[in-house]
Amino acid sequence: MFLLRLLFKNAFRHRLRTVLTMVGLVVAICAFGLLRTIIDAWYAGVEGTSSTRLITRNSISLTFPLPLSYADRLRSVEGVTGVSWSNWFGGVYITERNFFPQFAVDAPSYLALYPEYVLKDDEKKAFLLDRQGVIVGRKLADTYAWKVGDQIPLRGTIYPGTWVFNLRGIWDGVDAKTDESQLLMHWQYLSETARKRLGRSMVDYVGVYVVRIDQPDNAPLVSERIDTLFKNSLGETLTETEKAFQLGFVSMSETILVAISAVSLVIVVIIMAVMANTMSMTARERLSEYATLKALGFPPGFIVKLLFGESLVIALLGGGLGMALTLPIAAAFAKSVGTLFPVFLVSDLTMALQLAASVVVGLVAAAWPAWKMSRISIVNGLRHVA
């Protein structure tokens, strides 16, 4: 207890310098946590995938559709226990800045494949009965203050014209990793309306198939069976796990993610240098004090403890405050970007990394001054008094 009080008194002997150093630590640790959270948010879609779902798409590109007739043939594949499909709608809500995913789906089969979307029974029934009905995730509804019963106008880009939908339900995710930023509409309504308005038919084509399998370990085998079934057809398929499908989108931004990760580490290194400079100044100013302690019989290890302890006190106080501020700042950031990141939460791993970074900064910053002061000559140290 005595040593702890001594460390705190030493740490705040020069209050202005200590406070400025701690402010730098707060900013650095907070920025480190926020950047790590951004990286986690980029991978949120991957983490929220199911190991029992496969995605079957056109082997050429996602922009090429697949025949609707594939659905029955997919159901006959050994290991397949459920099949549904979806199309990207690509509508604009008020302005282009209001971007969020919109999918036209075969509602009954699609919801059966996504049990993580928790929807009230009456809202689910209303959605299934209303051809113009849509359901949205809780985060999307909160972003635009939508309520059940509202009408949502979307300006079509792929399918031109103004489309007005009735909000029939709002789902909650079964856990924090569930995407709550999507809008789901009826594929049948979109298909038939597009044919009437534009003379274009979607009746015979879908964007991708979602396939549920009996065992996660069978994913490679079932994928091979599906792709073999449609080999040499006009619409050859590429089937992969839902996780691999999502990783395909993340890989497009791999360079950005590497850059963000590098910046987060650079920030820690910079504050480490600042902290090391602070501890070096502290050691030089107390040269005579350390020499006096050695003259009184205190071993070099005691001086090392003083310097490491003081450095850790400053680092942990600044780092702890930075960790505490990360949570509200991340929440404000998530609100400001809307549905850009479906899931934006500070994970336990990020908090642990912030704590570890604070400890490392404290230890590394004190290493050189502690080593130097432990080897100081008593005579030279006492001469420093004069």
The H-assigned helical ranges of the chain are 2-11, 15-42, 44-47, 70-75, 107-113, 121-129, 138-143, 187-198, 219-229, 242-251, 254-285, 287-295, 300-337, 348-374, 378-383
Report which of 312, 276, 268, 361 is spatially closest to residue 33, judged by C-alpha positions: 268
What pLDDT is attached to residue 386?
A: 43
Question: For 213-246, how does the pLDDT look when each residue is reduced to its tens digit (9 = 90+)?
Answer: 999 999 999 999 999 999 988 889 999 999 999 8
pLDDT band of residue 202 (cuts 50, 70, 90) is low
CB 346 within 8 A of CB 326: yes
What pLDDT is attached to residue 135?
A: 97
Give the tokens for residue 227. Answer: 């792709």
In this prediction, residues 47-61 reach a mean pLDDT of 91
Question: For 91-134, how does the pLDDT look when each residue is reduced to its tens digit (9 = 90+)?
Answer: 999 998 888 999 999 999 999 999 999 999 999 999 999 999 99
CB 174 within 8 A of CB 52: no
Intra-chain end-to-end CA distance of the chain, in Å: 33
What pLDDT is attached to residue 381?
A: 61
Annotate 124-154 with b (16+ C-beta within 10 A) or e (fewer).
bebbbebeebbbbbebbbbbeebebeeebeb
Question: For 275-306, how does the pLDDT look when each residue is reduced to its tens digit (9 = 90+)?
Answer: 988 888 888 877 777 777 777 777 888 888 88
In this prediction, residues 5-18 reach a mean pLDDT of 83
The three-class DSSP label of residue 280 is helix
Residues above pLDDT 70, as percent of the chain: 96
What one-letter code names the amino acid at 79? G
**pLDDT reading at 22 higher than 70:** yes
Give the tokens for residue 209. Answer: 């198939």
In this prediction, residues 48-60 reach a mean pLDDT of 92
**pLDDT reading at 51 higher than 80:** yes
What pLDDT is attached to residue 251?
A: 76
pLDDT, averaged across the chain: 89
Instruction: Give the relative orientation of helices 254-285 and 242-251 as an angle to the nearest 10 degrees.
Output: 70
- pTM exceeding 0.85: no
Distance, CA of 228 to CA of 231 (rounded, Å): 5
Which range (82-91, 143-152, 274-283, 324-333) has the least confidence? 274-283
Report which of 252, 349, 274 is spatially closest to residue 27, judged by C-alpha positions: 274
pLDDT band of residue 385 (cuts 50, 70, 90) is low
Question: For 167-198, how does the pLDDT look when each residue is reduced to its tens digit (9 = 90+)?
Answer: 999 999 998 888 899 999 999 999 888 887 76
